[in-house]
Amino acid sequence: MADDVGRIRIRVPSSIKAGDVVRVRALVIHPMERIERDAQGKIVQKAYRYINQVTVTYLGRTILTLDTTQSVSENPSFTFAFRATDPGPLTITFLDTTGGKYAGLADIKLA
């Protein structure tokens, strides 16, 4: 559904202690269009919509930037780990090739 593109779900563990290494999984609804070929096998030239960069900020500081250099599925999920030192916002931003920018926020709370 086109309406849903950019909808983000972020999963963090339910209980985090200060200093824990936390595994986060983020899923974004995105078509991740693949290159199409015409009947002659030639690549159809158009702007393919594809997430090519993911940025994660924690407490206002960028802690991760990654480029998708391999093929990644539709509605991809990305997993990473970081050390949670303080409570605060964790923002995950997805940039795609057509200028789309989708951001999701998880509020890190310490137990």
Partner 1 sequence: MARRQARGRALQGLDTTDFGRFRTYAYGDARPEVPVASVTVPDGPPGDAAKGRALFVSRARGPCTGCHLVPGADVWPAGNVGPDLSTVGDRGLTDGYLYQLVFDPRPIFPKTVMPPWGATGVLTPGEVRDVVAYLQTLKGPRPAETDPERDPATRRRPVGFGDNLDATNNPGVLLADQAEAEWSTKGPADRACADCHVGPPELAMKGVAARYPRHVASQGRVMSVEDWLTVHGPETTGAAYLAESEANLRMTVLIKMASNGLPVAIDTTSPEGRAALARGRASFERRVGQRNHACADCHTPDGGANHFLGGRMLADVREGLTRHFPTWRTSQSELWDLRKRFQWCMTPLGANMLAADAVEYAELELYLTSFDVGKPMSVPGIRH
Q: Which residues bind partner 1 (CB under 8 A)?
A: 1, 3-4, 7, 9, 11, 25-27, 29, 34, 74-75, 77
CB of 87 to partner 1, least distance (A): 22
Q: Which is nearer to partner 1, 79 or 85 (CB)?
A: 79
- For tokens 């709370």, what's the residue? 109
Asked whether the beta carbons of 49 and 73 are under 8 A apart, the reply is no
CB of 70 to partner 1, least distance (A): 18
Q: Which is nearer to partner 1, 1 or 60 (CB)?
A: 1
Q: Which is nearer to partner 1, 27 or 59 (CB)?
A: 27
Asked whether the beta carbons of 19 and 84 are under 8 A apart, the reply is yes
CB of 48 to partner 1, least distance (A): 13
What six digits make up the tokens of 4?
């849903």
Q: Which is nearer to partner 1, 20 or 33 (CB)?
A: 33
